[in-house]
Chain A
Amino acid sequence: MMLPKQAEEYLKQVRQGLASLGQDERDDIVAELRSHLLDRQAQGRANLLEGFGSAERFAASFVIQSALRSALVQGTSWALGRALFIAARDSVLVLFGLLPLLLAQFVALGFLVCAALKPFFPDQLGLWVGPHAFFIGTTSGNTPDIHQVDGWWVFPAVAVAGVLLFWLSNRLMVGLVRWRLHQSEKTGQP
């Protein structure tokens, strides 16, 4: 049985919106929606799409939910960041939570790269201090008032700081994903 052109177009847009899901899941959602619309059509309803909202938003509710759940299972910063980025489309709070956590992840990676390269570039990489400076990394060499802190402990300290910051920001990302899922449960919405 065929649906009116407008309903077919809606189904097409929903399918496009579900592009990031697996083929089986996508087919399942669209088939269920088609079945619903066919039933309503058989009942003689004039506006088949009443109560569905935009196709983009309808599809996004599945995509966000799936991405958040899958990220929790995977637990990697990449999966968590990607899921939160998708969820940030409809939540400013998620966006504001995600940005500092992404920054922390990049800083942590910077620390780890510094620690790994320290044995090869001992004079260029390290912990630098000065009257208005305290940072881990490298300098351009044009700032004579800062100097590198010497000592064997700098290398492991930077590595530990990197690992701790990475782990902590990862845990906070997990917390943010759980919070977003909890919001769905609380409001009954995905």
Chain B
Amino acid sequence: MQDNVQTEVLAWRSQLRKGTLELAVLLALRKQRCYGLQLVDLLNAANLGISEGSIYPLLARLRAEKKVQTEWVDSGVGHAHKYYELTAHGQEVLAAMLVAWDEFSRAFDGLTAKN
């Protein structure tokens, strides 16, 4: 029984993580430009549990939606890195997402306080 609960919660956490991954990536890029591996390490350091293979298709989508732009930079380590940074549109979307997140979060805070 306890195992079933743990399995359900794990699946739910996975859905939560997937649903908020875009917000997490945009937030990570708000202060500085990053390349893919930096983003993976940054998000995993925040305990978001991102698998390495999932970040690149997501970044490709954000680029197609013009939320980020890219630049190849020779970092002096023998190979170049592809850096991602927020576009003006990306910043606008992030600001709107943060407002929505804040409303959502406050609604849940109210609900948990009542119960």
**Residues of A in contact with B (beta carbons under 8 Å apart):** 1, 28-29, 31-36, 38-40, 42, 50-53, 58, 61-62, 65-66, 69, 184-190
Contacts and interface: CB of A to CB of B under 8 A. Distances in A.
Contact of B36 (A36, A69, A185): A36
B37 A39 contact: yes
Given A33-B56, A40-B37, A58-B53, A186 B19 contact: yes
B77 A61 contact: no
Contacts of A39: 37, 77
Contact of B57 (A34, A38, A42, A65): A65
B58 interface: yes
B19 to A, nearest CB: 6
Contacts of A28: 82
Nearest to B50: A51
Contacts of A40: 37
Contact of B64 (A32, A34, A69): A69
A53 B53 CA distance: 7
B56 to A, nearest CB: 7
Nearest to A32: B82
A143 B28 CA distance: 72
A50 B52 contact: yes
Contacts of A33: 56
Contact of A34 (B61, B77, B79): B79
- Indicate the member of A29, A33, A190 with the most B CB atoms within 10 Å: A190
Contacts of B33: none
Interface in B25-62: 35-37, 51-54, 56-58, 60-61
Nearest to A59: B57
B77 A189 contact: no
Contact of A188 (B58, B60, B79, B80): B58
Contacts of B51: 51-53
A184 to B, nearest CB: 7
Nearest to A69: B64
Given A34-B79, A36-B52, A42-B77, A190 B37 contact: no
